[in-house]
Structure 1
Amino acid sequence: MSSLALPGPLVDVHWLAERLDHPDLVVLDAGVGAHRGEPLPIAGARVFDLDGALSDHTDPRPHTMPDAAHFTAAVRALGVDDRSTVVVYDGAGVYSSARAWWMFRAMGFDRVAVLDGGLPAWTAAGLPRAAAGSAPVTAGDFTAAPRPGLIVDSSTVLAALADGTSAVLDARTAERFAGTAPEPREGLRGGHMPGAVNLPFGELQRAGRMLPPAELRARYGELVGDRERLLFSCGSGVTACVLTLGAELAGYRDLAVYDGSWSEWGLPSELPVATAE
């Protein structure tokens, strides 16, 4: 059987349903908290645990990227090979699955796509779900090859805010961006990075599915003008990746996610914060 090619970074539920039996396919449930598909996931799905093995627990910030060795070990344990084709989904639509997608990309793996609409779209289409089981998984041979610059730190964001050729987009709600609503994590300042642009991640979706590329391109263009270098932030580096996915679908290619996001920037520090006047 020939290798399984993806149509792009986003696949629909019917594309996936028609290929569930392909030997190269690995389906991963990347939901967090209540947005995980258990106990009735898509048949054969394995858990890409962003709250567990797929975060760096030596870092006090939530959902930070593990190093290449830890990522390799965790992904191999899910049965992913270097030749695999991976589809990630979550129980909210397109939410934390985009984080898993970008983590794979940052680790040098391109045969990965997000399931548009996630588990809700799968269920609405009448496609089967299966009881979560403990079927043994044969360890894969996946090896991470990190790409510098796809996951960035606060110094890179500071430079981008100042250089005039990049745009920094924040996926949090308008109220949190303005500093008029409290942050859900204790000890964080309210507001946003001076010069950042607010794009709540839900504005890129309709009924849990990503907007068409032309609509996405128009939305980004309204906010960033002719800037092509885009950096993304949110609360903890998860929904920033929804913006990254939207930008990729819209045709942007020079993209990065600020891993610390507001969980780092919002801490009391010398990093500058602006609020609504």
Structure 2
Amino acid sequence: MPFGPLTDGEWLAARLGTPDLVVLDASVGGHRGTERRIPGARVFDIDGAFSDHASPLPHTMLGADAFTEEARALGIDDAGAVVVYDAAGIYSSARARWMFKAMGFDRVAVLDGGLPAWEAAGLPVESGRPLATGSWRRGDFTARPRPGLLVGSAEVTAALADPGSAVFDARTRERFAGTAPEPRPGLRGGHMPGSLNLPFGEVQAAGRMRSAPELREAFSGLAGGRERLYFSCGSGVTACVLALGAEIAGYDELSVYDGSWGEWGLPSDLPVATGA
């Protein structure tokens, strides 16, 4: 079964219930807890089990052993496939996909348009509480981490000084400029000096990802000929929407800054600029 970064509702609807395909709801924040879901979807809890709560930073990636355990509990197999969606459209589902890729698993796709597009197409939904873990067979997934897909502040600092790299920030233009407050208390306003602002909503149209040519134009218009791209946001979630867009656009060398502004914006010696 070929797997690209995106799939659509028609493709998924025709394959619901396929034994080797697991559908995951990766909604976060206020989009969690909806009583409507794609039939059989299991909860990929980025706010909970799929974040390292020993870290002071939000949404920190799990270690390989913990990720393996949580993925197996969801019934995911090494030879299987995953479609991930969220109730906002394309928001946190891209983060879930990037986490799997960082753990060496490529047979994972984002549902383009998420639950809103699924419902708008008249495709089936179920309601009530989702099935609990243990309602399905345990999987045999094993994480095989790929260095470089998730990086820290040292790598981003080096990238900002590298003429062959570009660092993109997925936050709003107001947060990037420092004219709007950060939603998390204690963070400085502004952006990394030399970073490029591409709000994650601008790589989408009507809740779906833009076409590959449109995405290539959006990234190259800011990065020029630089092909090594890094992505940041508030807490490492919407940065992955940009990473998804860049992958669709044909870029190959991509990294997400896991700590993102939740780390960089803390009072520290890391430099901050304001203004556009």
The bucket for the TM-score relative to the shorter chain is over 0.9
Compute the displacement of 1:35 (Å).
Answer: 1.8
Q: How many equivalent residue pairs?
A: 273
Tell me, yes or no, if structure 1 residue 184 matches structure 2 residue 180: no
- Give the aligned partner of residue 173 of structure 2: 174
Identity of aligned residues (%): 70
Tell me, yes or no, if structure 1 residue 254 matches structure 2 residue 250: no
Asked if 2 retains the 8 angstrom alpha-carbon contact of 1:37 and 1:91, the reply is no
Output the aligned Cα RMSD.
1.0
SS at match of 1:248: helix
| Equivalent residues in 2 for 1:111-260, closer than 5 Å | 111-131=107-127, 132-134=129-131, 136-260=135-259
- Give the aligned partner of residue 74 of structure 1: 70
Tell me, yes or no, if structure 1 residue 23 matches structure 2 residue 19: yes
- Give the aligned partner of residue 90 of structure 1: 86
Compute the displacement of 1:40 (Å).
Answer: 1.5
CA distance in 2: counterparts of 1:193 and 1:250, whole angstroms: 24
SS at match of 2:89: coil
- Aligned residue identity for 2:73: A
CA distance in 1: counterparts of 2:40 and 2:33, whole angstroms: 12
Compute the displacement of 1:140 (Å).
Answer: 0.2
Compute the displacement of 1:137 (Å).
Answer: 1.6
CA distance in 2: counterparts of 1:84 and 1:24, whole angstroms: 5
Structure 2: 5+ residue stretches without partners: none
- Give the aligned partner of residue 36 of structure 1: 32
Asked if 2 retains the 8 angstrom alpha-carbon contact of 1:37 and 1:90, the reply is no
Asked if 1 retains the 8 angstrom alpha-carbon contact of 2:89 and 2:114, the reply is yes
Compute the displacement of 1:37 (Å).
Answer: 6.4
TM-score, scaled relative to structure 1:
0.97
CA distance in 2: counterparts of 1:107 and 1:134, whole angstroms: 25
Q: Measured at CA, do residues 241 and 115 of structure 1 come closer, stay the same or move farther in structure 2, by a change above 3 Å?
A: same
| Residue deviations 1:31-78 (CA, integer Å, cap 9, x gap) | 002223631110000000001110000001100100000000001000
CA distance in 2: counterparts of 1:143 and 1:37, whole angstroms: 28
Structure 1: 5+ residue stretches without partners: none
SS at match of 2:24: strand
Compute the displacement of 1:126 (Å).
Answer: 0.3
Asked if 2 retains the 8 angstrom alpha-carbon contact of 1:37 and 1:119, the reply is no
Compute the displacement of 1:276 (Å).
Answer: 1.0
- Aligned residue identity for 2:265: G
Asked if 1 retains the 8 angstrom alpha-carbon contact of 2:182 and 2:189, the reply is yes
Tell me, yes or no, if structure 1 residue 46 matches structure 2 residue 35: no
TM-score, scaled relative to structure 2:
0.97
CA distance in 2: counterparts of 1:265 and 1:133, whole angstroms: 36
List structure 1 segments (4+ residues) > 2 angstroms apart after TM superposition: 131-135
- Aligned residue identity for 1:134: L
Asked if 1 retains the 8 angstrom alpha-carbon contact of 2:42 and 2:131, the reply is no
CA distance in 2: counterparts of 1:215 and 1:5, whole angstroms: 23
CA distance in 2: counterparts of 1:25 and 1:181, whole angstroms: 42
CA distance in 2: counterparts of 1:37 and 1:110, whole angstroms: 28
CA distance in 1: counterparts of 2:34 and 2:83, whole angstroms: 16
Asked if 2 retains the 8 angstrom alpha-carbon contact of 1:5 and 1:85, the reply is no
